[in-house]
Amino acid sequence: MPDNITVAGIAVDTRHWIGGRRVASAGTFTDHSPIDGSVLGEIARGGPAEAEAAVAAARDAFPDWAGTSRSERARILHAIADGVEKRMEELAIVETTDNGALLRSHRRGVMPRVAHNFRFFADWLLQLDHEDFETRGHTNHVSWDPAGPCVLITPWNAPLMLATWKVAPALAAGDTVVLKPAEWSPLTASLLADIAAEAGLPAGVLNVVQGHGSEVGDALTSHPDVRRISFTGSVPTARRIAASAAANLTPLSLELGGKSPLLVFADADLDLAVDLAVEQYDNAGQVCLAGTRLLVEESVAEEFTRRFVQRASALTQGDPRDEATDIGPTIHPRQLEKIDGFVQRAVAAGARAVIGGHRKDGQYYAPTLLTDVAQNSEIVQEEVFGPVLTLQTFAGEDEAVRLANDTRFGLAATVATGDRDRAERITARLVAGTVWVNCFFVRDLKAPFGGSRQSGVGREGGTWSFDFYCDLKNTVTAPKGWNQDHG
């Protein structure tokens, strides 16, 4: 197997990155581009042996990295961000070729966010502090100690953004990392390994193991030397990981799927509400936070639908490298099958496709809006992870909240209303990790991020990330007992 492939003229190493060295595997898996199904290359296919080697490398590198000063760790994280910025265009092109998301989004939003992930957690580390407090004259001092090797497992829909959202705080915390990117989008994680090494991150502090979750996952998540597991992905995989982690009671952070509602009240700015609804087709709907259930107040439903169809029909679908494209392909033929299966079963059950409802050439799925859907139907209850929205109507706040909360998920919700008091009443009653009012996907990394119910376990972001990736320690010091000479 060749050690490198070339993607749009950019060399990407296809091997693992373990202990500061490139490591091949006997087996490989084939990586395809969703843009046209073409073969990008053969990628090292890790198994238990590579998992073991990567955890050993992370364990060996841990004492030195944990003992590195906060300011030095922050300096290296900023140097990684510099490297990301220097290679921004290459990262954007490789990511688009590998996962099919829009090049313009990678250039303008996603890759800058990747750099920001490193800068933000570097800076947050430097001011991470807790005010000491007293208990009967004793001082309590809280500290965040590095915890050890972390296993980070990430999905394909925003590969480098979601990987670095975990890698950056883990490294800032003084932990070492084994990153397992998704097998449908393995390439930018390999480039990150290069960038981190160039930035001076010591060998073994960041390791990247490629391969199928089913082949390499268990060996990583059941390993007794692993101190934290952070996973972003689907609920079924999360269950397996949690079961595997249970053997060692390894602490877990799980960021999972969603079926988020977008509530449109009659008093909303209807053009804004339509913009927010159309935005849910971003990344061909392959966004965990997507508000895929449009819940619209009866009195404006007809007008909302008219304007929505007008706006959605103007979207351009096609090659994600083209600046004019609004919606690219789905990630994989299997994902396309899955999406179409959901839609065809919904239609068979009585749903009406107002727009879309069918595949297009290649791996593209037409942006779809389904009405006449029952609250307890599969299409309303299950995550499709494709450009498929449902529309239901409600009469009044109680029904809006009842429908919004009536799934097993609780990742996010969006509320469109012109009434501030109503916004407060509604948001207080919604079950969701993030609620956006008259906006969508505005993210501050200081904020807690995660899901309620089956959308996740725990929260990351700002200090919450450090709370997860560190062993918190409280040191209680008595006022007495000091040697007089040393005060």
Ligand X SMILES: O=C/C=C/C=C(\O)C(=O)O
78 binds ligand X (CB under 6 A): no
Which amino acid is residue 32, in one-letter code?
H
Partner from ligand NAD, ligand X, none binding residue 180, C-beta < 5-8 Å depending on class: ligand NAD
Strands (E) in 291-400, as ranges, are: 293-297, 352-355, 368-371, 388-394
For ligand X, which stretch binds (CB under 6 A), given 86-94, 155-163, 359-367, 423-431?
A: 155-163
Minimal distance, residue 450 CB to ligand X, in Å: 9
Residue ranges in 15-74 that form contacts with ligand X under rule CB under 6 A: none
Decide whether 449 or 464 has the Cβ nearer to ligand X.
Answer: 449
Q: Which of 50, 95, 255, 297 is catalytic?
A: 255
154 binds ligand X (CB under 6 A): no
Q: Can you give the binding site for ligand NAD, defined by CB under 6 A?
A: 153-157, 162, 180, 182-183, 212-214, 217-218, 221, 232-234, 237, 240-241, 255-258, 288, 383, 385, 411, 451, 456
Decide whether 253 or 317 has the Cβ nearer to ligand NAD.
Answer: 253
289 binds ligand X (CB under 6 A): yes
Minimal distance, residue 233 CB to ligand X, in Å: 10
Partner from ligand X, ligand NAD, none binding residue 368, C-beta < 5-8 Å depending on class: none
Minimal distance, residue 413 CB to ligand NAD, in Å: 14
231 binds ligand X (CB under 6 A): no
Catalytic residue list contains 383: no
Decide whether 207 or 221 has the Cβ nearer to ligand NAD.
Answer: 221
Decide whether 114 or 178 has the Cβ nearer to ligand X.
Answer: 114
Decide whether 113 or 227 has the Cβ nearer to ligand X.
Answer: 113
Minimal distance, residue 99 CB to ligand X, in Å: 12
Partner from ligand NAD, ligand X, none binding residue 165, C-beta < 5-8 Å depending on class: ligand X
288 binds ligand X (CB under 6 A): yes
Partner from ligand NAD, ligand X, none binding residue 221, C-beta < 5-8 Å depending on class: ligand NAD
Decide whether 14 or 154 has the Cβ nearer to ligand X.
Answer: 154
List interacting residues with ligand X (CB under 6 A): 157-158, 162, 165, 287-289, 443, 449
Which residues does the annotation mark as catalytic? 255
